[in-house]
Every structure is written in C-alpha cells, then in structure tokens.
Amino acid sequence: MRNVTTLVLAGAMLAGLSAAAQAACQGRLTNRSGYLVTLSQDGGPTVAVPPGRSLPIRYVRPGRLDVAALCPGIGPGVGPGAAPVQSASLTYQAVLDRCYIEVGDGFFERQIGPAFIDGLDVKPFTVNAPRQGDIAVAGAPAGCPLPPRISARY
C-alpha cells in the first residue's frame, strides 16, 4: 500500500513539473496613441487595436510579433490595409514562467541574462514596459493625412 501511495505521489509531482515546464504567460498591447495599431502573432490573423484600447497577448512558446501603427480613419492611405506609418517585427521568448520580448544584440547576455533592458523604444512602440512581454504605443499620428473637412454647404 505504501508503494502505491509513493507511486501516485510521484506521478502527481511529474505531472505538475511537466505542466510547469510549458510557458503560459500573458502580456498586453496597450494603445495610448492616436494610431490604429495592428498585431499579428506568429504569422496568424491580424487584429486591430483602436486608440485608447488594449489587447492581451498570450505567450505559449517562442515566436514573433508583427506590430504596425496605421493612420486612423477611413479613405485611401488610412486604416487597415494601408501602408503603416511605422512597423516592427519583434521576437519573443516564452520559457517556463518567464516571457519577454527580445531586445538588443545579446551583448552581455550570458553575464546578466536576456532582456535585462526594460522599455527599449522602437518608436512609437515601447516593449517590455511596464512588465516583461508588454507593448505600449504612444504618440500622435505623425505623417497621417488630416481628415477631410466637412462642408456646411448643401
């Protein structure tokens, strides 16, 4: 009976260890800008995040995020499908309980660990701030066309 209990406990511990080995972190894309921000994870579908909104990002394994800032509004040269004002392709790591967006060139990585720099700016994107794995977008939509004026004439 004692051996059976030991085997059951050992099996439960191994199951717990294997569950802990899989990363399951959550970051957030926060759009505090006037841009329309799009995000695609690992080549998947693109999701639009309007100004003043945020979107959770789930990290399960290492991969890539493609983020772009577009001019908001409607018409040619603005909104989804338009050429981005700024874009970035960011790689991220998701290992055990640690998820972060890779920054820099790996200089001193062996000495002080990966992603030791928080808040690296890839204008208008700020990565790993306020937490590891987060992306914040801020700023006014520079280079975007002004919306057309509405005439008061009928």
**SS3 of 19, please?**
helix
Range of the domain at 106: 23-139
Residue 112 lies in a domain: yes
**SS3 of 131, please?**
coil
Residue 52 lies in a domain: yes
For 10, the token pair is: 């050992």
Q: Are 62 and 114 in contact (CB under 8 A)?
A: no
Residue 151 lies in a domain: no
In 2-145, the DSSP E strands lie at: 25-33, 36-41, 46-49, 54-59, 63-70, 86-95, 98-101, 120-122, 125-127, 135-139
Q: How far is CA 107 from the centre of its chain?
A: 23
pLDDT for the residue numbered 57: 95
| Max Cα-Cα span within the chain | 91
Give, rounded to a whole angstrom, the gap between the first and last alpha carbons of the chain: 91
Q: Say how many domains are in the chain.
A: 1
pLDDT for the residue numbered 118: 47
Q: Are 37 and 67 in contact (CB under 8 A)?
A: yes
CATH number at residue 31: 2.60.40
Residue 86 lies in a domain: yes
Residue 108 lies in a domain: yes
Residue 77 lies in a domain: yes
Residue 7 lies in a domain: no
pTM over 0.75: no
Low-confidence ranges of the chain (pLDDT < 70): 1-23, 74-81, 104-122, 145-154
% of residues, the chain, pLDDT over 90:
30
What is the per-residue pLDDT across 120-148, written as a single tens digit (0 to 9) for each? 456 788 888 888 899 999 887 777 765 55
pLDDT for the residue numbered 24: 77
Residue 3 lies in a domain: no
Q: Are 15 and 22 in contact (CB under 8 A)?
A: no
pLDDT for the residue numbered 107: 55
